[in-house]
Amino acid sequence: MLSRLILFLIIPTLLGAFKAYWNFPSGTCRTNHSIKFEDYKIETNKNLSFYGEKVVIFYEFIFGRYPYYKGYKEDQPVNGGTPQNCSIDEHLKIAKENITERIPKEDFDGFAIIDLEEWRPIFDQNFWGLKSVSRVVFFAMMGKNLRLYLCPTSHHFRDLCYPLERNDLYLQGFPKSVISIGKEMEFKSSKRNGNSEAGRGTV
């Protein structure tokens, strides 16, 4: 009991050392709780909305044209399934529209976050269970067997290193390009507002 009391008392002090942001759409829960986030120095969007002036999160499935497999099933590709089958120009075009829609104000000074929780931009992260579909498709496109990569003693292993590195670079190009677009939009916005430097808003 004492430890809980001590923790309750020091939470405001701990939170004062950095800024915490609450992004859960809790507006509909107001009748069921009486928590005042400001008492704990937690930043929230106005009316506890999911998208607002403090923080905006873009999830990969509804942002741009990130390629993936629905349910991690090889026969259900979305946006081409893999980056090699998806137009990065189209991806950036839609992403820019999404940013403008969710952040309509040019003086936005909050945080814009790209959530890549499910989309796996690095090849080595596609090794578990159903998510290995990306590896299977990659090797099918290369015309090589998946077992060649899983067996380091194979004499073919070295032959795969270069294409694997190229694949990772191509995959990383999708989120990196969007970040560049976001920064460019932020810079232009700050210029229109008469600022010599880009604001704090981060994409």
pLDDT digits (tens, 9 = 90+) for 60-113: 888 898 888 888 888 999 888 888 888 889 999 999 999 999 887 777 888 888
pLDDT at 12: 63
Domain with CATH 3.20.20.70 in the chain: 60-108+116-192
User: Which residues participate in catalysis according to the annotation?
Assistant: 117
Q: What is the CATH number of domain 60-108+116-192?
A: 3.20.20.70
pLDDT at 120: 65
Strands 55-59 and 111-115: parallel
Rounded distance between C-alpha atoms, residue 176 and residue 174, angstroms: 6
